[in-house]
């Protein structure tokens, strides 16, 4: 059984919340009897307070690529509704929350009252500053310029309460100062699930890569000249983690299963790849896992992502003549083994049937309106036991990401070497059973068209590093932020598509050369008595049509073509939609909060 003495489950400390009213902005006292006068007396007090600040995501990460070019969604995701609607400060109202900042600053204003030595105090200061950096990193990604506060705001601090937005450069400098202090002072070792120095460094490198590439590719900021200093931090800090030799990629030597198994383990505590995870135990801390990862509930993987996986020999899938009209079975032949460990493949054996009416056994891809027809197995616990589902741990920060950060920052700086690739990208590819990447690969026309703003002497390598990042981190919630920092928001305009069907009639979806489904025109009726295939199983029937027609599955040409998930993704307005407006209610309370970038 896992040791839950360690994991950060929350404490009965203080409800450090904010009101929407500007008069209460960042000035509330703790809403319990715990205050600065009767708390902050010893290390246990400091630990309890910091534990209350942990807020890392759980199983939801496996649905967080939705509404990107990685996955379609039927849900009302913010960017999706923005692109098809008429958004404004009165309709985009989420995100302007400050509770975490108030908690961090309140701690930093009071923790040194505890009579502890410098090492202990600096450790806890580092933790609080780490969480403050995390808070402001998220705010900068959403709003760019935001008010910066490094102390608890009181009711009489009118100038601070009514201040305007500080420039992005100012706020980011403060973020990097907090990360740097934390990286120097947070302890190297910590209880399982708690923040240690390597985790701080990883997030420092992660944000430095984000900010460096964001500044490089977003001319509206006029900060491109400062991009290299952040990329250097990303390079150097990720290299520190690599050279520490404390982590390595999880591998049992089985490239057809290791990647899949990494995301469905009942315990990640001793996994060498995991820097940070959410640890769960059925009946103690349930994972919250549900079958929505796999089925037609809201999210479905897209063809665009599937086509980015390489062939098994390392060549580009999209170099093959006619690849756009390959059948479902053809798409999985001789591909990067990670494809069949991310997407349900022809012949996938479904054990955790839950609500899937066809039952267990060899799975026949279920088609439905507004879904791609592809299904996700990455993060899917294919075990019907409740304990298996609720005990599964969720990897939040993997060593693979550190390797990707190192390679990308090096390529952006133009100093990537073959040795660098061999200790980063090629370790990831080796685990997957894929050929090594060379320093000067042939440019893939598809990648080149996808990212037309990439230039420089190591352009070819950088394009392939971006591909590797997309594949290795697929459906873990990274894609949206990557597209934002690369100034690639226009890719969100492409409607997500699914499986290709050559026409009406019978089709094999399991790879045994025996048809499983029958596609009918939308003016035909599904027979009451179904025909059986040569295995003695009833065919599954679908009525097809174009979007808007009375049909069970939408095809591009009505009776043939790719499965369609949406009629129109809308327009991504640049640079406006790379940012969000300050909610109108807040602007009314504080007119000094000016809108930027067209909002």
Tens digit of pLDDT for each residue in 204-217? 999 999 999 999 99
Question: By residue range, what is the domain housing residue 547?
Answer: 503-559
CA distance 299 to 375: 9
Q: Report CA 426 to chain centroid distance, whole Å.
A: 22
How far is CA 10 from each of CA 168, 190, 316, 418, 453, rounded to the nearest angstrom? 32, 17, 48, 46, 45
Q: What is the mean pLDDT of the chain?
A: 93
Q: What is the pLDDT of residue 355?
A: 66
pLDDT tops 90 at residue 358: no
Does any domain span residue 97?
yes
Look at residues 198, 143, 202, 195 and name the one whose alpha carbon lies nearest to residue 172. Answer: 143
Pairing of strands 349-350, 361-362: antiparallel
pLDDT tops 60 at residue 196: yes
Any idea what the CATH number is for the domain that residue 178 is in?
1.25.40.890
Does any domain span residue 515?
yes
For residue 580, the 8-state DSSP code is: -
> CB–CB of 418/430 below 8 Å?
no
Does any domain span residue 579?
no
pTM of the model: 0.94
Task: Average the pLDDT over each of 11-20, 276-285, 450-459 and give the range with the smallest value.
Answer: 11-20
Does any domain span residue 339?
no
Q: What is the pLDDT of residue 7?
A: 41
How far is CA 359 from each of CA 352, 356, 362, 366, 552, rounded to the nearest angstrom? 9, 6, 9, 12, 20
CA distance 366 to 499: 11
Q: What is the pLDDT of residue 25?
A: 33
420-447 pLDDT per residue, tens: 999 999 999 999 999 999 999 999 999 9
Q: Tokens at residue 424, please?
A: 């980063």
The widest CA-to-CA distance across the chain, in whole angstroms, is 80
Does any domain span residue 400?
no
Domain boundary among 194, 213, 234: 194
**Phi and psi of 183, rounded to 5°?**
-65, -25
CA distance 347 to 368: 20
**Angle of the 43-51 helix axis to the 99-110 helix axis, nearest 10:** 170
Pairing of strands 540-545, 517-521: parallel
Does any domain span residue 526?
yes
pLDDT tops 50 at residue 26: no
Q: What is the pLDDT of residue 290?
A: 80
* Mean pLDDT in residue range 395-411: 98
What 3-state class would DSSP assign to 311?
A: strand
Residues whose CB falls within 8 Å of the CB of residue 76, separated by 6 or more in sequence, listed in order: none
Does any domain span residue 80?
yes
Residue 18 CB: number of other CB atoms within 10 A? 17
How far is CA 511 from each of CA 255, 353, 362, 394, rounded to the nearest angstrom? 21, 20, 10, 32
Higher-confidence residue of 519 and 282: namely 519
Domain boundary among 194, 221, 252: 194
Does any domain span residue 59?
yes
* Mean pLDDT in residue range 314-337: 98
**Phi and psi of 481, rounded to 5°?**
-65, -35
Phi/psi region, residue 257 (left: phi>0; alpha: psi -120 to 50; beta: rest), is alpha
Pairing of strands 540-545, 553-554: parallel
Q: Report CA 395 to chain centroid distance, whole Å.
A: 11
Number of domains in the chain: 2
Q: Tokens at residue 315, please?
A: 């060549």
Question: What is the strand order of the sheet 540-545 is part of?
Answer: 505-507, 517-521, 540-545, 553-554
């Amino acid at each position: 059984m896992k040791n839950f003495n360690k994991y950060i489950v929350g404490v009965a400390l203080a409800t450090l919340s904010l009101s929407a009213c500007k008069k209460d902005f960042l000035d509330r006292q703790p809403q319990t009897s715990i205050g600065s006068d009767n708390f902050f007396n010893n290390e246990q007090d400091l630990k309890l307070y910091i534990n209350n600040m942990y807020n890392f995501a759980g199983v939801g990460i496996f649905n967080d690529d939705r509404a990107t070019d990685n996955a379609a969604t039927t849900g009302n995701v913010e960017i999706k509704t923005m692109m098809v609607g008429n958004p404004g400060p009165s309709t985009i109202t989420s995100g302007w929350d400050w509770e975490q900042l108030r908690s961090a600053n309140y701690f930093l204003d009071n923790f040194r009252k505890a009579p502890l030595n410098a090492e202990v105090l600096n450790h806890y200061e580092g933790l609080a500053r780490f969480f403050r950096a995390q808070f402001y990193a998220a705010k900068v990604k959403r709003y760019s310029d935001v008010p910066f506060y490094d102390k608890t705001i009181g009711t009489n601090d009118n100038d601070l309460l009514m201040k305007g937005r500080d420039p992005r450069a100012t706020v980011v400098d403060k973020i990097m100062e907090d990360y740097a202090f934390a990286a120097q002072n947070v302890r190297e070792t910590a209880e399982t699930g708690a923040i240690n120095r390597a985790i701080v460094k990883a997030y420092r490198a992660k944000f430095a890569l984000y900010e460096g590439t964001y500044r490089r590719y977003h001319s509206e900021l006029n900060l491109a000249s400062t991009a290299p200093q952040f990329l250097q931090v990303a390079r150097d800090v990720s290299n520190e983690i690599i050279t520490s030799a404390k982590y390595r990629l999880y591998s049992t030597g089985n490239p057809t299963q290791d990647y899949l198994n990494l995301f469905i383990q009942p315990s990640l505590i001793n996994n060498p790849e995991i820097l940070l995870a959410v640890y769960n135990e059925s009946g103690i801390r349930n994972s919250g896992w549900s079958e929505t990862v796999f089925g037609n509930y809201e999210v479905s993987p897209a063809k665009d992502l599937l086509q980015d996986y390489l062939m098994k020999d390392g060549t580009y899938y999209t170099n093959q003549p006619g690849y756009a009209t390959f059948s479902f079975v053809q798409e999985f032949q001789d591909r990067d083994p990670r494809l069949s460990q991310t997407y349900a493949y022809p012949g996938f054996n479904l054990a955790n049937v839950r609500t899937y009416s066809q039952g267990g056994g060899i799975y026949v891809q279920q088609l439905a309106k507004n879904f791609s027809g592809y299904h996700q197995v990455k993060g899917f616990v294919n075990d019907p036991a409740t304990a298996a589902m609720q005990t599964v741990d969720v990897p939040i920060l993997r060593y693979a990401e550190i390797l990707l950060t190192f390679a990308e920052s090096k390529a952006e700086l133009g100093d990537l070497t073959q040795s660098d690739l061999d200790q980063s990208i090629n370790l990831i590819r080796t685990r997957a059973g894929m050929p090594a990447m060379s320093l000067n690969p042939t440019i893939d026309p598809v990648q080149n068209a996808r990212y037309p703003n990439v230039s420089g002497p190591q352009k070819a390598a950088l394009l392939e590093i971006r591909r590797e990042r997309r594949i290795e981190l697929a459906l873990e919630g990274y894609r949206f932020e990557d597209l934002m920092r690369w100034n690639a928001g226009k890719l969100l305009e492409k409607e997500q598509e699914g499986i290709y069907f050559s026409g009406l009639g019978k089709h094999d979806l399991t790879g045994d050369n025996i048809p499983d489904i029958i596609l009918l025109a939308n003016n035909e009726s599904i027979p009451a008595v179904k025909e059986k295939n040569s295995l003695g199983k009833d065919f599954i029937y679908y009525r097809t049509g174009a979007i808007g027609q009375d049909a069970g599955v939408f095809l591009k040409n009505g009776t043939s073509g790719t499965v369609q998930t949406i009629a129109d993704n809308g327009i991504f307005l640049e640079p406006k939609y790379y940012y969000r407006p300050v909610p109108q209610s807040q602007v009314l309370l504080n007119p000094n909060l000016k809108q930027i970038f067209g909002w």
